[in-house]
Amino acid sequence: MMHSIPQSHHTTSTRASGRRRGSVLVEFAMVSFVLYLLTVVLLDWSRASMAAQTLQGAASLMAKELARAPIEGTCSFEGVLYDNCSGSAYVRSRIYDEQHLVIELTAGLSTPEEISAHFAGLPIVNQMLRPLMFFDEVKIGGADVPLFRYPGAVVKRPDGEYTVLIPYILERDYYDNQGDAERVSLRRVVEEVKAAEGDPSHFPINSPSDLRGVVSLRLNYPYQAVSMSAFDSSQPEPTGPYAKALASDANVQQEGSTPGGYTLEVDGDTGIGPNAGRYGLGAHYTLIAPGEQLARPFRRLISVQAIQRREVIFGP
């Protein structure tokens, strides 16, 4: 004998099932958003960890190679890497050359295979820094220039070659409304470690400092997040004009001169990305007002150091 189910029971069951499906979708949407954020943040921090390990290996190798390089004993660290002291040609061809921190992608040097072949002939430290470089397209003089480069501010050297300097943030004040929300100084990717600015180089054997004949170097890398924004933790409500002031290159005040007399080349306030802009400080959209306000990405300057006693010294 067949029994019919009352129509009211059918209706109640269908509605309950629909409500359950709707609640599951809502719960999944809420949970998936949190999981997505956690995944992206984890990837960002993993990238920072990878950068630190890569830099440490490069710094250690560079210190060892400089300690054994045939360099005149009286040459300073700056003179060897960035001038024409005796032994500079050897260092730039075998160990490190800052001009290879920016590679302009042209015909014959654009595919991954061509770039790999190009890197095979570069100094050993430049090869080790390759995992930290990225493809970029910057505006220089209003024209789009494709580059494969190290993070930082793209500058032009007196010889016409591009390289990168690292923006070091001295102060950030998003609320002062004085047109100088960020004060920065520009530093080299590789610099000598000294007890204080202005101290003599420890590199030459005739250095007036107590520590002489020593390779003491630092490698700098500006880690800037893809998924996290910078903010002023001293202010209770980082909203309103905060984001626009934060991401404007027009509000950046540079302290001191540019090392080596290099000139900034990238047009200001151009591009969206973790390393965009004239100073390479980045800009991305925020959740406060998507599509309207731009914020600087969260950043940390990763610096690793290495020290080595010079082993091979050539007289003048």
Domain boundaries, the chain: 15-314
* R_g of the chain computed on alpha carbons: 26
pLDDT of res. 191: 95
pLDDT of res. 227: 79
* pLDDT-wise least confident of 90-94, 230-234, 288-292: 288-292
pLDDT of res. 315: 57
For tokens 């170097």, the residue is 217
Which pLDDT band, with edges at 50, 70 and 90, does 182 fall under? confident
pLDDT of res. 242: 47
Q: Is this structure's pTM higher than 0.75?
A: yes
What letter represents residue 92's amino acid? R
**For the chain, how far is it from start to end, CA to CA, in angstroms?**
113
Both structure tokens of 175? 């609320």
Are 253 and 182 within 8 A, CB to CB? yes
Helix locations, 184-250, DSSP H: 242-246
Rounded CA gap, 102 and 161, in Å?
9
Q: What confidence tens digit (pLDDT) does each residue in 34-53 have?
A: 787 778 778 888 888 999 99
Average pLDDT, the chain: 83
Are 151 and 87 within 8 A, CB to CB? no
pLDDT of res. 219: 97
What percent of the chain stands above pLDDT 90? 43
Which pLDDT band, with edges at 50, 70 and 90, does 215 fall under? very high
DSSP of 280-304, one letter per residue? Answer: S--BEE-SSSTTT-EEPEEEEEEEE
pLDDT of res. 19: 57
